[in-house]
Structure formats: C-alpha cells, structure tokens
Structure 1
Amino acid sequence: MKAIVCHEFAPVDRLRYEDVQPRALRAGEVRIAVHAAGVNFPDSLKAEGQHQIKPPLPWIPGSETGGIVTEVAPGVTRHKVGDRVMGVSGADGGGFAQQIVLPQERAFALPASMSFAQAAAVPVVYGTSLYALKQRARMQPGESLLVLGAAGGVGLATVQLGKAMGARVIAAASTPAKRELALQHGADHAVDYTLPDWREQVKALTGGKGVDVVYDPVGGDAFDEAVRAVGWMGRYLVIGFTAGRIPTLKVNMPLVKGYDLVGVRYDVWRDGWWSEARANLEQVLAWCAEGRLQPLVSARYPLERAVEAMRSITGRQVTGKVVLEMA
C-alpha cells in the first residue's frame, strides 16, 4: 500500500510517499480501506519532533479516517466486511495510508448521511472540543462561550458544539469572511480579535460580566487579551498555540476573578479513558445524524500531496477541516 512515512524528526518536507507492507491482523482487529484521512496541526508537530509525544520511527501520521472494513480478525463482533466506518487511531497514527488496522472498538459505524471525508473531519476536532466543554469546563446551558480562532477546524467544531449544548457563542476571528463563516455555523456574535479594543466588545456582549468559558487554541496575543475578558468563576481552556508564541499569565488575574485556567490534553485522556472518549464520539455522531453538527471539509488533497496539506494548516491558510482523499 501507499503511505506517507516519517523516517526522521525533521521538517515535513522530509516525509516520504512510499510503499509499505500492510501488517497481518491480530485478534479483535479490523482492516479498513481508507477513503479519507483528516489532517491536523499536531501531525506536523509530531513529524518535526516538536510534540510531547515522539512516536517510534518509522511512523505514519494521521489519527482519523473514514473508510470501509475489508477484513476482520477472530473475535470481532462490532463490525463486518463492507461496513462504512470512522476510525480513531491512538498515538501510533497510521491514517495517512491506503489501509489502516485498528482494534474493533476504535471504529465507529457511520450515519448514512455522512461522507468519508466528513468522517475523517470528526474525531480530533469534535473529540477535543466536546471533552474540553463537557469534561473540563463543565459548561452548562445558558452560559457564554468565547471561541478564539473560530473559523479553523477546531474552532468551528467548538462553535457548533457550543450551540448544541445550549451556550451563547461569541466567535473571535481575524477577517470578515471568517467571522461570517462562524456566524453561519451557529455563533450568536462575532468579534474581530485583531482590534485593540476587542475584549471590551466581548464584555459588552456579556453585559459587562465577562464570559463563562473561553476556548483558546491560538495563544499568543489573543490570549493576552482574552484572559482579561473572563467573568467570575469562569473557565479558560488552553487548547494549543497555533499563533506560535506560548503566552504567560500573571496569576493574580485568575485569583481576583476566581476563574480556572484549565489545560486540555485530549490525546492522553482519550487513550487513557477510552470508554468515556468513545461515548463522547458516539454523541458527536448522533448529533451529526440529527443535523445539529455539520463538519465542514474546506480543502481536499490526494495522499501524495500530504505535505502541502500539512503546510496549509501550519500556515493558517484554511478554514474548516483539511482531508486527504485516497484514489
């Protein structure tokens, strides 16, 4: 099979598109013919050796796939050959390939209305966001939610999930087109977080109280302002640092306002508490089937152009999700 393979921790340009021998199934596993694979910011970090997890080499990136079951091992009861499924890998990846082998519990039956590309757009961003809002922020209906980077893949997922969970959503994005996209996907308000007074707009939208929950995958300058827009007993969710700069915080701010600064490490929680993580993803798929969530695939690349797809994300050139599609 063809795959994208990392042989050394180096710039993603060093990834290779090459032939790889598929491995045999073990008991309880399924083989999936991959039709689409989601591309995420951490794929590049891992390939370049800049992530907390450094997978053993050689390594195939990709942790979310959509495809068809082509083979099942003894002991498999959840799936059969021909099933349309969404696959969720662990830290071992494997998604940027024409085939992937997964434990049966890591594959999910797809709603009839969901495409393979949409399936590949779900596990990381919706999984991260639901864990952040539900388990980490304990967000309640009627609370206010500020989403930074609201037009990106994880940002749009959070906007949609926030509305599905009954929150009042304020989307922060850098351009009129991105703000309009967030509004189209359910945000109640949108603000330009490149303006010097944008946090005052957020406070005004909350009647001067500040927001209950902030979802921040951006860091950098946006963090410096957003931490001042949190209300009493709020929760500030630290997701990542796509802006490049890891910010610092004077801890008198959360002290004075009594708010929590909460780290969100989804991959570790997902793999360590899989039964809860699986239940979250089943909820996401149910909401997709009901039309309450609509994964947006904004860019598609063939497998052999995986590096270009990864660069589009690290360069912050895209909205929604980027996927690889197999010929």
Structure 2
Amino acid sequence: MRAVLCKDYGPPESLVLEDIEAPTAGENDVVIQIHNAAVNYPDVLVIQNLYQIKPPLPFSPGGEVSGEVIAAGEKVDTLKVGDRVMAVCGMGGFRDEIALPAAACMPIPDSMDFKIAAAMGLTYGTSYHALKDRAKIQAGETLFIMGASGGVGLAAVELGKAMGARVIAAASSEEKLQVCRDHGADDTLLYKTGGLSPDEQKAFSEEIKTLTGGKGVDVVYDAIGGDYAEPAVRAMAWGGRYLVVGFVAGYIPKIPLNLTLLKGTSLVGVFWGRFNAEQPKDARQNIIELMSMLQDGKIKPHISGVYPLEESAQALTQMAARKVTGKLVIDMGR
C-alpha cells in the first residue's frame, strides 16, 4: 500500500511516498481502507519535530481519517467489514490503510460524505470541548475568536453561533473574514500578521472593547498566541474565560497574572487529545452531539481544498503558509 512518510524531520518537501506493508488487525482492532484524511496545523509541526507529540521515525502525518472497515479483530463486536467510519487517529492518516482500536472509530451514516467525515473530528471535537466543557459558554455571551478562519477557529465560529453566543471573528485578511461571516460571525476584526508594537497591542485591545460597547468579551478562543494574547486578556469582561488552544503565531506568550486578578478571569487550557484519553465517554458523547448538529444543518465543515495523496506535501506547504480557510483534505482516489 502507499504511504506518505516522514523519515527525517524537516519541511513538507522532505516527505516521501513509498509502498509499505499493509497493516493487520489486532484482536481489538479494525483495519480501515482510508478514503480521505484531513490536514491540520499540527501535521506541519510534527514533521519538523516542533510538536509536543513526537512519534518515532518513520511515521505518516495525518490525524483524522474516514473510510471503510476491511478487516476486524476477533474480539471486535461493535464494527464489521463494510462499515463506514471516521476516526481521530492522531498520526498515520496519509496512507491507504490504517489499523486502529475499534473503540476509536465512529460509524457514519451512508448519507455522510467521506470528506466531511474526515474534516470534522479533530477540529470540531477540539472547539466543542473548548466551548462546552472548558468555557461552559452560555447563550447571550460574547465569544471572541482569534485565528477564526482556520480549522478549529471556523469550527468555533459555527459552534458558538449554534450555542447562542454573539461571535466576533478575528483573522488576517478580508478574504478570511468573509469566510467567517459566511459561517455565522456577527462581527469581524482584521489584524496584521507578525509582531505588534505596544501601541498596536493597545489599539487591538481597544478595537475588541469597542465591538462590545466597552463591556469586554466573555470568552476568548485563542489559537494564535504571540503578541495578541495579552491585549485580548485586557479586553475581557468580568468573569471571562480565556481558552488557550494553540500558538500558531510561533511562540508561547507571557501574560501578566494581575490582569486575571483585576478582571476575575480564568485562563483555561484546551487539550482535546488528553481529554479524549482521560474522559473517552465524554469525548465520544461530544462527537455524537456534533453529528446531530451536522445532520440538523447547524454546522457544516468548510473544505477549501482537496489534494491527492501524491500531493500531500503541497497541502502541508499551504497549511504552513497559513493560506488555508477551514480544512484541506487528502483524497485517496477511491
């Protein structure tokens, strides 16, 4: 079978496409013939040895997949050959087949497109966990999303609206902001890429406050970090919750803790992978609820590009350049 492999850490163009041995199912596993795999920003980091998870070499990037069960272990009684499934695998998705624990796989209806199934697990799982479990967001509250046009950010836009929040989306271009508006954002804020001077940080904070009539935002969803973090904290309302989701800006910010004291705010970490491992029943229930929202039309994953397996490096290069809105998907050509 074909597999895109990271054999030495480096940029996307260092990946290679090779034929490797097909996997077999352990007693509690299934083998999935992959139809589609989603591209996520952690894929860009892990192949450069810049991510907190460091799989042994060689490995295939690709954290979420969809496809068809082609083999099942002797102790598997929840799935059978021919079942259509989606799974968040963490790693190994850029290949034709993958063996996974049956418990990690979610059946999908015949009406669900494989591309949509591949594109929703990680990003919507992360954002729903962030808003529902960590922020406990309430209808009528204001949600400010940084990096709102990316995979997790755009999922947060849709989910925030579905949960009754007023959504302010921030992104780095008017084109990206239009995508956010198309997916339900009530207001938008344009910010520049790169570092911010102290005056620009102050202006950024004031812009956020102005959009809330001076009250400040109840929940900040931060997938960017960097120079934008502190001014976002300064623009929070009393009792606000600041969701630490990621650091696409390139470095981890240092926030003066006196700001949290003065505003009664909470800094809340969001690590969906750990949540999935520590509370698998809760994580699975969240996915069930997301599937219901999808069927009801409350959410709709935005896929901005589809690449064949042979062009996986090009897809990752686009992701690294932050030119992607929503999700990119790798198509195995089935």
TM-score (norm: length of structure 2) = 0.93
Q: Provide the residue aligned with 1:291 in structure 2.
A: 297
Rounded Cα–Cα distance in structure 2 between residues aligned with 1:287 and 1:75? 32
What's the offset of the Cα at 1:153? 1.2
What's the offset of the Cα at 1:218? 0.8
Rounded Cα–Cα distance in structure 2 between residues aligned with 1:212 and 1:62? 34
Q: 1:267 pairs with 269, 273, 297, which one?
A: 273
Does the 8 Å contact 1:242/1:314 carry over to 2?
Answer: no
Rounded Cα–Cα distance in structure 2 between residues aligned with 1:77 and 1:207? 56
What's the offset of the Cα at 1:205? 2.8
Amino acid at match of 2:31: R
Rounded Cα–Cα distance in structure 1 between residues aligned with 2:109 and 2:207? 40
Q: Deviations over 1:115-138 (max 9, x none)?
A: 111111111111111111111112
Secondary structure of the structure 2 residue equivalent to 1:241 = coil
Q: 2:288 pairs with 277, 282, 307, which one?
A: 282
Compute the RMSD of aligned alpha carbons.
1.6
Q: Deviations over 1:137-164 (max 9, x none)?
A: 1212221100111111111100011111
Q: Deviations over 1:303-326 (max 9, x none)?
A: 111111111111101111011100
What's the offset of the Cα at 1:58? 1.9
Q: Provide the residue aligned with 2:76 in structure 1.
A: 76
What's the offset of the Cα at 1:246? 2.4
Q: Provide the residue aligned with 2:247 in structure 1.
A: 241
Q: Provide the residue aligned with 1:218 in structure 2.
A: 224
Q: Provide the residue aligned with 1:28 in structure 2.
A: 28
Amino acid at match of 1:107: C
Amino acid at match of 2:329: V
Amino acid at match of 1:123: G
Q: Provide the residue aligned with 2:41 in structure 1.
A: 41
Does the 8 Å contact 1:193/1:222 carry over to 2?
Answer: no
What's the offset of the Cα at 1:207? 2.8
Q: 2:313 pairs with 304, 307, 311, which one?
A: 307
Rounded Cα–Cα distance in structure 1 between residues aligned with 2:112 and 2:216? 37
Rounded Cα–Cα distance in structure 2 between residues aligned with 1:16 and 1:97? 12
What's the offset of the Cα at 1:10? 2.9
What does residue range 27-106 of structure 1 map to in structure 2 within 5 Å?
Answer: 27-90=27-90, 93-106=91-104
Secondary structure of the structure 2 residue equivalent to 1:102 = strand
Rounded Cα–Cα distance in structure 1 between residues aligned with 2:237 and 2:294? 31
Does the 8 Å contact 2:37/2:62 carry over to 1?
Answer: yes
Rounded Cα–Cα distance in structure 1 between residues aligned with 2:224 and 2:311? 26
Q: Provide the residue aligned with 1:137 in structure 2.
A: 135
Does the 8 Å contact 1:192/1:198 carry over to 2?
Answer: no
Q: Which runs of 5+ in 2 are unaligned?
A: none
Does the 8 Å contact 2:38/2:328 carry over to 1?
Answer: yes
What's the offset of the Cα at 1:298? 0.5
Q: Provide the residue aligned with 2:120 in structure 1.
A: 122
Identity of aligned pairs, percent? 47
Q: Deviations over 1:69-106 (max 9, x none)?
A: 1122222222222222112214xx11111111111121
Rounded Cα–Cα distance in structure 1 between residues aligned with 2:89 and 2:324? 24
TM-score (norm: length of structure 1) = 0.95
What's the offset of the Cα at 1:14? 2.1
Does the 8 Å contact 1:111/1:289 carry over to 2?
Answer: no
* Aligned positions, number: 325
Secondary structure of the structure 1 residue equivalent to 2:267 = strand
Rounded Cα–Cα distance in structure 2 between residues aligned with 1:277 and 1:79? 19
Does the 8 Å contact 1:238/1:264 carry over to 2?
Answer: yes
Amino acid at match of 1:240: G
Rounded Cα–Cα distance in structure 2 between residues aligned with 1:231 and 1:113? 43
Matched, 1:167 2:170: no
